Amino acid sequence: MSVIRLETRIKAKQQIVFDLSRSIDFQSEVNRSSDERAVAGRTTGLIGPGETVTWRGRHLGIVQSLSTKVTEFDPPHFFADEMQKGAFKSFRHEHYFISTGEGTLMRDVFSFRTPLGVLGRLVNFLFLKAYMTNFLKNRNRILKEYAESGKWKEILKLHQ
């Protein structure tokens, strides 16, 4: 199993960071380069406990679909989503939000297993873990930008 751990300090309220992180609309905005969009389940708004979303987008040159489900939910501190169907053997993405004096510390713990045995482990070693790390870092960089600049209002007002 591979595990990616990231920490991002964001000068914004915990609730804003939490809601941006679970916004289907924000995720679609962030992933324009991969043309990733929600195509089934919750396709707009804020995903919540027990809800699923299916994403379709181009990653590593291949159009892929990925269905996830929110399996744990403790607003505005934590939620976890897990793959239900997709290219990985399995994955779990834990999202932690800790209020600090300066704003919010956002922690990601992304654990995944590749399919295809030895070949999958080789792909992971050669480029998949680095690809997923960069994908998450980019998402977090944009989330930080939105939360700190006030752009979050455009995304979250859709949910009111």
* pLDDT per position as a tens digit, 30-49: 876 667 899 999 999 999 99
Q: Which is it for the CA torsion 74, 77, 80, 81, positive or negative?
A: positive
Find all residues with CB under 8 Å of 96, minimum gap 6, and list them.
Answer: 77, 78, 105, 106, 107, 108, 109
Cα–Cα nearest to 110, from 91, 128, 126: 91
Report the pLDDT averaged over residues 2-16: 96
Tell me the three state secondary structure of residue 20.
helix
Query: Would you say residue 119 has pLDDT above 60?
Result: no
Classify residue 11 by its DSSP letter.
S
Contact criterion met (CB below 8 Å) for 23 and 159: yes
Q: Which stretch of DSSP H or E encloses residue 149?
A: helix 129-149
Q: What is the CA radius of gyration of the chain?
A: 15
Query: Would you say residue 159 has pLDDT above 60?
Result: no
Most confident of 38-42, 124-128, 129-133: 38-42
- Taking the chain, what is the end-to-end CA distance rounded to the nearest angstrom? 39
Identify the band that residue 1 occupies on the pLDDT scale cut at 50, 70 and 90: confident
Contact criterion met (CB below 8 Å) for 146 and 20: yes
The confidence score (pLDDT) of residue 88 equals 79
* pLDDT per position as a tens digit, 39-77: 999 999 999 999 999 999 886 677 889 999 999 999 999
Prediction pTM value: 0.90
Q: From CA 97, how far away is CA 160, in angstroms rounded?
A: 22
Query: Would you say residue 116 has pLDDT above 70?
Result: no
Domains in the chain (CATH in brackets) are 2-159 (3.30.530.20)
Q: From CA 35, how far away is CA 43, in angstroms rounded?
A: 14
